[in-house]
Structure formats: C-alpha cells, structure tokens
Amino acid sequence: MTWKNTQTRTSTAEAKRWARAVKARDRFKCVTCGYQGTDGKGDVQADHRQPVAEGGQQYDLANGQTLCTPCHKTKTAEETARGLARTGRKLPPEQHPGTITPPTSHAETPTVQPKHTYAMPWDDPSRSTTDPRISAYGPTGKP
C-alpha cells in the first residue's frame, strides 16, 4: 500500500496490459488448482512465476501465470517469508497499549510535575486549617 498519491508498480498502464494478456492467455483459469475464473470479475489474478524482487522479468509473458485469489495469497505469503528471511528484516510485534511501561530514568521523565486537582478544599494539604471554609470542619479538616 502506498500512502502517497503515486503510482505503484502494478497500477501502471503497462502492468495492467501485461496482467490482461496473461489472464487471457491462460483463459482465466488458475494454473495451480484449475479454478475457472470469469473475465472482469476479479476472481483470478496475474502473478509472476519468478518474483520481480528475485530477478524475474516484470513484463515478460513467459514469467506470468494466472492464479485464483486463494492460490495467489498462499504464493505471496511464501514469497514474503522468503524475502524477510533474505533481508533479515523482522517486524517487531506491536505492543499492546496497556502493557507499555512508563519511563524509569530521570532523563526520560518530563520535567513538568503533574498538577494535582483536589475535589474538595480539605483534600488539599497546602491549605491551612485557618481557612474559614476548612476550620469549620474541625482539626481533621474533614466533616
């Protein structure tokens, strides 16, 4: 998926012509399982026999084959696993927001102290008991 309004490798006019030619050549039939697709329905897709990332020719009809959607997903997952193993890249598991621990060192903590809000005046320890609203409640500061 692309986040910009640019063309992807498969959205160009040349790629679409190649895909139509591959599917027409194979008569919209999956070469793996034999599923008979329908023109224009989107139930079969053009696939590269040898992936472009592994050196396959992008617009060569001999490097194309027609696959149904389930077969194409399976083949793509295998290619993705090979590509990740080849490059050594691993995606880090996404951490659940509830398991994120707060920073522990002083360098990571914010310098501004959180401001406490007290619901009632007697809960605020900075107030003196001489305040008439508080002293009416006795030495404990609570009713």
Q: Could you write out the DSSP letters of every residue in 59-119?
A: S-GGGEEEEEHHHHHHHHHHHHHHHHHHHT--PPPPPPGGGPPPP-STTTS-SSPPPP--S
* Stretch 15-41: mean pLDDT: 94
Give the CA diameter of the chain.
Answer: 94
Quickly state the pLDDT bin for 99 (edges 50, 70, 90): confident
pLDDT for 62 equals: 96
Residues above pLDDT 70, as percent of the chain: 62
Q: Does the residue 99 lie in any domain?
A: no
Instruction: Give the structural domain span for 70.
Output: 13-85
In this structure, of 3-7, 68-72, 97-101, 129-133, the range with the lowest mean pLDDT score is 129-133
Residue 94 lies in a domain: no
Is 5 a domain residue? no
Residue 24 domain-assigned (yes or no): yes
Of residues 121 and 39, the one with the higher pLDDT is: 39
User: Is the residue at 97 inside a domain?
Assistant: no
Residue 134 resides in a domain: no
pLDDT at 27: 95
CB 129 within 8 A of CB 116: no
Helix (H) or strand (E) holding 65: strand 64-68
- Domain total for the chain? 1
pLDDT at 137: 57
- 39-78 per-position pLDDT tens digit: 888 899 999 999 998 899 999 999 999 999 999 999 999 9
Report yes or no on 110 lying in a domain: no
What span, in angstroms and rounded, lies between the C-alpha atoms of 107 and 24?
63
Q: Is residue 133 predicted with pLDDT exceeding 80?
A: no
Q: Which helix (H) or strand (E) holds 45?
A: strand 44-48
- Residue 19, in any domain of the structure: yes
Q: Which residue has the higher pLDDT, 82 or 21?
A: 21
